[in-house]
Structure formats: C-alpha cells, structure tokens
C-alpha cells in the first residue's frame, strides 16, 4: 500500500496492492493495522455503498467531523473533493479524481471537505467508510454548478436529487 499526498492538504490517494491470476483479482481494501502504520489514524465505524446510473451526480456533501475513505467497486466516476474549511488557506480549492472498479485506489477525505461524484460509465458502485455515524443535521451541501468554484464536470445536465439541485438537505 502506498499513501500519496495530493494538491489539497489532508486529502490522500491510497494505492492498494492486488493479486491477479487466471481466476480474477484479489484486493485487501482495509486493514486497520496497516493503515495506522501508514499514518492514517482514523477509527472507521460505518460503511456505505451507493449504486448510480450514468450521468448521476451525487454531492457535493460533507460535515465538520467525518473522515471518508472512498473507492469505486464497479463502473467509473469522477470524484471532486473540495475544502470547505473557511479558516483554511485552501478554502474553496478542489481536486478531481477518476476512479473505476478496475483500479486499486482509495481517496481519504478529511472533515470539513465536501465530495461529490459523477457517474461516467453505464452504472457505478461508490463505496465509502466513515469514522462517524451519519447525521443529516451536521451536513453541508455545495451546489455542483456554483460559479464561484468553477467545477469541471463531464456533463452539463446531470441527474440530481432535490438536495443537490437546490442546495438544501431534504430527503
């Protein structure tokens, strides 16, 4: 496993090791001991998966407390991570990643960062671990097309939830 720094302080790209043979591929996606030895001292308590169709955009969401460890289990998507800490010198800066079920990458997203993903394949499975239990009251939403950020998405007319369309939290 390799832990790589990115252009945003605290956001890390993790390259996992895998083994392939005539049967397919094996990848260990999490080992607490190895992650802690690599400097990722986060105690994860919840795993979540979302399945989405092509052109679905989910996010950009985050909160003040949660670390997320994101990966793509199937398909492909563009992931954008944005710093939402108004006390940071990198406030409103963002970075983009292309993730697919064929690669062995994870992205560690720290608290006060938002993230969103846009499905570029026929469908995709987005997986993430969290170090806190989901709490809708602590969530923030950054609009996917907020002109202040100038996000670059692969499509200008994505499929959105009401929350992502108007920027409020509503189920």
Token pair belonging to 89: 């010198």
Of 26, 30, 61, 117, catalytic = 61
Give CA separation, 123 vs 78, 118, 169, in Å: 12, 10, 25
Contact status, residue 149 vs residue 60, Cβ threshold 8 Å = no
Residues forming a β-bridge with 74: 125
Residue in 35, 67, 117, 128 annotated catalytic? 128
Could you confirm whether 128 is annotated as catalytic? yes
Distance CA 119, CA 63 (A): 23
Tell me which residues are annotated as active site. Answer: 61, 128
């Amino acid at each position: 496993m390799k832990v790589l720094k990115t252009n945003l302080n605290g956001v890390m790209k993790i390259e996992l090791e895998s083994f392939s043979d005539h049967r397919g591929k094996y990848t260990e996606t999490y080992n607490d001991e190895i992650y802690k030895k690599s400097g990722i001292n986060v105690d994860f308590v919840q795993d979540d998966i979302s399945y989405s169709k092509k052109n679905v955009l989910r996010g950009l969401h985050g909160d003040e407390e949660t670390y997320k460890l994101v990966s793509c289990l199937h398909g492909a998507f563009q992931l954008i991570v944005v710093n939402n800490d108004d006390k940071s010198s990198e406030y409103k800066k963002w970075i983009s990643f292309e993730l697919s079920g064929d690669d062995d990458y994870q992205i560690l997203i720290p608290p006060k960062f938002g993230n969103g993903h846009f499905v570029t394949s026929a469908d995709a499975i987005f997986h993430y671990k969290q170090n806190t239990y989901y709490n809708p009251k602590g969530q923030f939403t950054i609009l996917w097309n907020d002109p202040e950020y100038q996000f670059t998405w692969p499509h200008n007319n994505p499929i959105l939830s009401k929350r992502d369309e108007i920027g409020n939290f509503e189920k």
